[in-house]
Amino acid sequence: MFEYFIGYKLGLTATPKDYLKRIDPARISERDPRDWERRQLLDTYKTFGCESGEPTFRYSLIEGVREGYLLNPVVVDARTEITTELLAEKGYSVMQENEDGELVEQTFFGKDFEKKFFSDETNRVFCETFLKSALRDPLSGEIGKAIVFCVRQDHATRITKALNELADAMFPGKYNSDFAVQVTSNVDDAQQMAVSFANNNLNGHTRFLEGYIGSKTRVCVTVGMMTTGYDCEDLLNIVLLRPIFSPTDFIQTKGRGTRKFTFRYVEKEGGQVQEHAKPKEKFKLFDFFAVCEYFEEKFNYDEVIELPPLRPTGPGSQPLLPPPPVLADFTNVNPDPLKSQFEYAVPVYGMKIDRKFFEKFEDKVKATPEVRDRYERGDIKGAEEIVVAALFNKPEDFFNLDKLRKAVQVDRRITLREILAKAFGEIDRFKTKDELLEEELAKFVSIHKPDAAHMPVIRQFFKAYVTDGGVRTIVDSREFGRLADNPKVSLADVRALDQWREVIPEYVKDYVPLNAFAA
């Protein structure tokens, strides 16, 4: 990169901090000049000389996944009775004796777990659920390598102990309390342990497959040490045993598992050498605190980012945030069985937190007066032409129609007209392929008014003809015999259409925009 680019400054980051976004500099500097100065000093774009807030070039996780370099996770959303209540609006309530011996009700929420109370039973359910559902090494069959993210260091200690006890019961004789290790700042040689884990020699090699270069230790239990900049390509499981409220932290944490990898093992027997290779096709993200749901549905992406608090300095300074007391009385409050668990694969277009590219385009469109003026006067084609000329393929963002289509969660090919309608509030979302098909079918029915007896086969044929180019080719060429084994519309269906097999194709050619239904 340094040989390719000509310039005196090159800024590269995976996690930019935009402290100047959506603020009024005049009002902030007037109210607190120091706050404004700190924002400028900490803002990534200001530091890199990118005052516009738009990087010269960006490469997103979505692009990496679509182009075959990275992987999206399979999310395992699992909640116990206690965590379900912690995540609810009313919280988790318990009765506790106060200093006067009176029973008082205390309510806790997700952010309080392992800070104001803890439950060994809940932690044990977390560990059991992970071990039962974890992805396995495709060659050795052992638990796939994992990083477990905890709330605090004492939480990490308890989780490490629980995992080792469970692993000893599940895999007798395979481990010596080294299935899981704690990798936190209060552990000696923690940094070297993280390196050894990535190099597959932490506590030696696996006992599951002789000669296989795989780490004996399968799980690193940490708090924040392995969140950013840690590269372990063969990682198969990430476990969130804590809530996360920072989008940067969430992106970095789940990003640990996105790297591709090929597992290899050379088997030597009787003078014969055979190589086995299995690609890493996915990784699992165990989400016990509805973190994915929070960033998909609840997080306010437009909120001004708060500055981190100043750390006290000088003699006698106290820690910035002293650890809150852990109330031992709340340990093992109640047996806490798993209440719900389901898995879903994150689609290629990613999570909402990965799809902010489209929203940035909407902001640009609304801030371009010529586009707004043309659109509001009904000159849609003129507005589209200005967007293509003024906003597409510029170095600031490299917007184009293909990238915008990839960035939105739609199962069909949206048009630039629809994108503008969404930007200017004429529609609140893009219709799915099925919704658009139903609309087009309803228009056909309102014009031609077919009888009820023909409607089921008309519906099936109409949708197949609109969405399937192969069906259109067969029907237009009148080679109906080729429909004999077609799963969408059969030869019998065509015969049952009677006169409608001529009417529908003509209507579709005249009135239905087929391009909108392409994938």
Average confidence (pLDDT) over 156-178: 94
The predicted structure's pLDDT at residue 425:
84
Residue 62 lies in a domain: no
Q: How much is the mean pLDDT over the chain?
A: 84
Average confidence (pLDDT) over 505-510: 92
Q: Which amino acid does the sequence have at 412?
A: R
Nearest to 278 by CA among 293, 265, 297, 294: 265
Of 374, 399, 423, the domain-final residue = 423
Of 364, 390, 423, the domain-final residue = 423
**pLDDT band at 229, cuts 50/70/90?**
confident
Residue 68 lies in a domain: no
Share of the chain above pLDDT 90, in %: 33
- Is the pLDDT at 197 greater than 90? The verdict is yes
- CB burial of residue 145 (10 Å; 0-12, 13-18, 19+): buried
**pLDDT band at 508, cuts 50/70/90?**
very high
168: domain CATH number is: 3.40.50.300
> Going along 289-434, which residue ranges are E strands?
338-345
Tens-place pLDDT, residues 77-135: 998 888 887 777 666 666 555 566 665 556 767 777 766 667 788 889 999 999 999 99
Are residues 52 and 154 both part of a single domain? no
Q: Are 461 and 497 in contact (CB under 8 A)?
A: yes
Task: Write down the pTM of the prediction.
Answer: 0.68
Residue 244 lies in a domain: yes
Residue 127 lies in a domain: yes
Q: For the CA atoms of the chain, what is the radius of gyration? A: 29
Tens-place pLDDT, residues 26-77: 777 666 778 888 888 899 888 888 877 777 777 888 888 888 999 999 999 9
The CB-side HSE value for 296 (13 A sphere, CA atoms) comes to 9
Are residues 359 and 223 both part of a single domain? no
Residue 130 lies in a domain: yes
**CA pair distance 2, 17, nearest whole angstrom:** 24
- Is the pLDDT at 224 greater than 50? The verdict is yes
**Token couple for 101:** 């011996």
The predicted structure's pLDDT at residue 335:
60
Residue 478 lies in a domain: yes
**CA pair distance 205, 252, nearest whole angstrom:** 28
The predicted structure's pLDDT at residue 11:
83
Are residues 198 and 334 both part of a single domain? yes
Describe the strand order of the beta sheet including 219-222 as a list of residue ranges. Answer: 180-182, 219-222, 146-149, 237-240, 283-287, 73-80, 338-345
Are residues 381 and 247 both part of a single domain? no
Are residues 142 and 194 both part of a single domain? yes
Are residues 234 and 148 both part of a single domain? yes
Are residues 50 and 189 both part of a single domain? no
Residue 134 lies in a domain: yes
The predicted structure's pLDDT at residue 12:
84
Are residues 16 and 111 both part of a single domain? no
Q: How many domains does the chain have?
A: 4
Question: How many residues are given for the chain?
Answer: 519
**CA pair distance 19, 21, nearest whole angstrom:** 6
Q: Are 143 and 219 in contact (CB under 8 A)?
A: yes
**pLDDT band at 332, cuts 50/70/90?**
very low
Are residues 225 and 270 both part of a single domain? yes
Are residues 153 and 250 both part of a single domain? yes
Are residues 110 and 194 both part of a single domain? yes
Are residues 212 and 289 both part of a single domain? yes
Residue 327 lies in a domain: yes
Range(s) of the domain holding residue 277 = 73-303+322-345
Give the DSSP letter of residue 36. H
